[in-house]
Amino acid sequence: MPSPKIVILGTGGTIAGQAEASTQGVGYRAGQIRVEGLIAAVPDLPQIAAGRTGATLDAVQLAQIDSKDMDWQVWRSLLQALAAALDDAQIQALVVTHGTDTLEETAWLLQSVLQPRKPVVLTCAMRPATSLQADGPQNLRDAVAVAASGVAGVWVAAAGEVHAAQQVLKAHPYRLNALRSYEGGPCAFVEEGRVRWLSTPQTQQPWPAVQITQLLQRDELPWVEVLQSGALQSARAVQALVAAGVQGVVVAGTGNATVHEDLLQALLQARSQGVKVWCTTRCLEGPAVGGGDLLSGLASIDGISAVLRPGAGANELDTVLLPPSKARVAMMLALAVCS
């Protein structure tokens, strides 16, 4: 019987970046080193992968981009590769090397669509591979340890911490521990190759195979934009987007998902014209709690691992209990499912 495998999929990012000097931590070129080179930088990675099951490592270079430039073509390729691997009985777990800039969106996409019954672990770096402070090798080692632990779900392993896809956000532009799970904190810590789990979020059913197939057949996802409410807000941005054919708008409201009156009226008008509109909060921690009875009016979004609080009246927006970056992904998926 063939031995189980842990497959590492490379997509680029800072973890695969190169700079002109080892002292250079910014101004580098992301996505330069192939995934095989990343593996070679961690001498005991095969032993970490072997764990208790004797798994061997395999590597696939799926893409080579700076994650700020993430597009549907790469997302679709990643979904296709992971869906096939999750159906392969020989593959025990998967690791994805990725840039930090859009990692939170990719993690949420994968968790929402796949709800994997195997570990899918994203990892990254805040310094290029050529840096004196290169954090990629340790992060990759930790990610493989998480993969070998056998805990199902989409995880992000970085700086010795393990975060759940729904909670993780990039919270700092430069520090090595740039990723954070607000409120709940990390789900686990990786210490000398050992994973110490604190909690594991409840998983849901994956999308039906036919629905995943339909998603992957799309040439593009629906057009959704994020706007932010604040002082001196006007209706002009919404009006311009509607005129250009936008299909959905997520507004990052102030405080408890409140929206400037001028912006609100434009959003309500957009909704009356068939544009999907959700509100969330621009606050760094916590979902918007809304008003009235907090236990009533909550609804799951069809096919998406997210919760929506419908507006109480014709002049209120629906509130999604996700940060803006993930809310946008959720809306794109919701529109794709419905169209």
Catalytic residues: 14, 100
Side chain identity at residue 150, one-letter code: G
Residues 6+ apart with CB under 8 A from 151: 119, 188, 195, 197, 200
Which of 132, 24, 18 minimizes the C-alpha distance to 64?
18
Query: Hey, how many other C-beta atoms are within 10 angstroms of the C-beta on 32?
Result: 16
- Find out whether 56 is annotated in a ligand binding site: no
- Find out whether 58 is annotated in a ligand binding site: no
**136: enclosing H helix or E strand:** helix 136-149
The rounded distance, in Å, linking the Cα atoms of 157 and 177 is 11
Burial category of 220 from C-beta neighbours within 10 Å (exposed 0-12, middle 13-18, buried 19 and up): exposed
Cα Rg of the chain (Å, integer): 21
Contact indicator for 145, 119 with CB cutoff of 8 Å: no
Q: Work out whether strand 224-228 and strand 248-253 pair parallel, antiparallel, or are unpaired.
A: parallel
Q: Work out whether strand 188-191 and strand 179-181 pair parallel, antiparallel, or are unpaired.
A: unpaired
The rounded distance, in Å, linking the Cα atoms of 105 and 15 is 18
- Find out whether 101 is annotated in a ligand binding site: yes
Q: Which residues are annotated as a binding site?
A: 67, 100-101
Q: Which residues are annotated as a binding site for substrate?
A: 67, 100-101
